[in-house]
Each structure stands twice: as C-alpha cells, then as structure tokens.
Amino acid sequence: MSAAPSIIQIRNIVKRFGAQVTAVDDVSLEIREGEFFALLGPSGCGKTTLLRMLAGFEIPTSGNLLIDGQEMGGVAPNKRPVNMVFQSYAVFPHMSVFDNAGYGLKVTGTPKAEIRERVREVLALVHLEDYETRKPDQLSGGQRQRVALARALIKRPRVLLLDEPLSALDAKLREAMQLELVKLQQMVGITFVIVTHDQNEALSMADRIAVMEDGKVRQIATPTELYEDPNCYFVADFIGKMNLLSGTVQASGKGTVTVAVEKLGTLTVPCSTETSGNLHLAIRPEKLLVSETPLPDHLLAFSGRVATFAYHGSESHVFVTTDSGVTLSATLPNRHRHSAAFEPGQKLWIGWEPEDTLVLTE
C-alpha cells in the first residue's frame, strides 16, 4: 500500500530571533494527508516555533513552507487551510459551549441555520451534544479541551495544529484524552500535527514522529522505529529509558563489532555496518534479565549487587551495580500478585541478548 500524498512540505526552514538565537535550523520534512504527526522534543528545541510558522503566527527567516500545494509565504493565518488548538484552550468564558463552537462560523457571516446544524454535528463528534448551554466554568478540563477542538474543527480545516493540547490535564484524564484524540482524528480523517515534550504521548498517538533538538530534526520515524532503532545518542536517551555504555571499537566486520567498554571489558555485538572509533552501546531496561543464579553463557552477563529496587505497580525497576562498578537498570514486569522483590546489597546476575544491543555511532 503506497503512502498518502504530502499535504505539508517544509523545505530548509530557518527561523532566527535576532542575531543570537536560531530557533529552527534548516528543517526539511513532509507530512502526509490524513496523518497524525508529532513534533517531539525538550523545551526550547524549536517544535512550537515550527508549529507557529505552519499556522502563520511566525514568519520564516528563510526556506519554503507549502500546505496543500500552496506556498504559504505572505498568506495570513486566517487564510490558511489550518486551524490551531492552543495549550490554554483559549475558550471564551462568557460564551456557552454552543457559541464557543460556532464562533468561527459566526464571524465569517455563515447563515444561522447552517451554524446550528454544523455546531450540533461537531459537538456530537466530541461528545458534548448535551452541554450546549453550559459555560466553560461549568465544565471539566477535558470538556473544555473538547470545546476547543470543536471550535477548531467546525471550519473543516485541511490540517489541525495542536500545541501541547493535553499538558494542563491530570495524568489519568490526559491518557483518556490521548485515546479520544486518536479516535477523533481517525473519524474526521484530516491531518493532525501535535507538538509535545511528552514522549509517551507522542508514542501512543502519532503515526510518525519528528524528534527535535536545538532547532534541528534528529530523526523522523514511526513510534516503533524510534523506540527500537534510534539513530543517535540523543534520540536513544530522550525516548524512553536506556542503558548507555561508551566504548572504543576494537574490531569490526562480518556482521559484528567488538567494543572495549570502560570497566565492563570487551563486548561483541551484532552490527550490520563496519565502524571504528568511539561509539555508544544502548540497551533498553526491559531487555535485561536478572537472576539469583548465573545466567547462560550466550548472554552478555555480569555479576553484581542490587543498588536500588523500586516497585511501580505493573513493573519494578532494579538497578544492579556490577562487580566492576557499572550500574545497569532492568525493568521487570510484575506478572503475578506477589512478584519477586530484591533487597539492596543482594547478589544478582544481570545480562542481555547480544542482538538486543543498539550500536550508536552518533
């Protein structure tokens, strides 16, 4: 099945604020029609500035930005085929849910009968059909968020831009709204572009994710690809939890690389490309095994003692300091009501399959 055509094309976009600050640094990417796309990264990485350039609230210093095949240079925000949902929701406190949802149509002179029909249609879409007469102060945070979504969707944009739309919600509601947003996007079938600093939010919602750092895009990939095959140290460290080991290549070729890792010794792991110099080995904590008895010889395994054990309900985290002084973390699923717990100082073996090692040359 071929990929959908691109609805957004960003070509070598640069945004500078004054002479000192480059917020977006030569970014090029394409977003497909009907895609749920996430811009992910830490505070100050340029993701919100990039979103604001799509909306027309910031003007690029250089580069080209096309939406639905049209160059956006000089096109005012209200003339673009996009709409935006802000972090603060920005709903009008003095207006009812119905009037908030229909505001965009009212200011453009849409007939009252059409406004009524489209408001009821969009409120049903966001499950607020029974709340037409309520004011925002009579709604929960999640309901106010849905009012903001309804107001953005009622004008039927080609692209919906979402700037940290769930950050004001508590953890449980935030998780519920993530699922609602995904279902809503699938129902309306338009392109969603979301900005978030929350990796779990991006991984659970997006079809593809662009990870940004210091104004640059480090990797664009599906959630699975980002998690299992990060292309550099920054992405590996930013997405999820990771054990990261620094080392120097001793030998490379024939599908493996042998790396001298400080304190741990020499490790040989699969590697499809020949490499040399310094690099990092990365292993996800859930890939690690711990045992009170020696692990099988085919694993990369080390003896040590428990440094810390933390119970997290569905899983537990155990940190083991090897006899050579390197601390490794393992995530253990709590499959049973009385899963094993380990005591600080307890003797353990910790290890992993060589093929679960990521080799990061950047």
26, pLDDT greater than 90: yes
Query: The tokens of 324 are what?
Result: 């050579």
Q: What percent of the chain has pLDDT over 90?
A: 68
- Whole-number pLDDT of residue 2: 55
How do residues 100-145 score in pLDDT, each as one tens digit?
999 888 888 889 999 999 999 889 888 888 999 999 889 888 888 8
Contact partners, residue 100, CB within 8 Å, separation at least 6: 91, 92, 136, 147, 150, 151
The pTM of the full predicted model, rounded to 2 decimals, is 0.89
How do residues 162-198 score in pLDDT, each as one tens digit?
998 888 778 888 888 888 889 889 988 899 999 999 9
Walk me through the domains of the chain, giving residue ranges and CATH numbers.
6-236 (3.40.50.300), 243-248+281-360 (2.40.50.100)
Q: Is-contact 353 305, C-beta < 8 A?
A: no
- Whole-number pLDDT of residue 1: 42
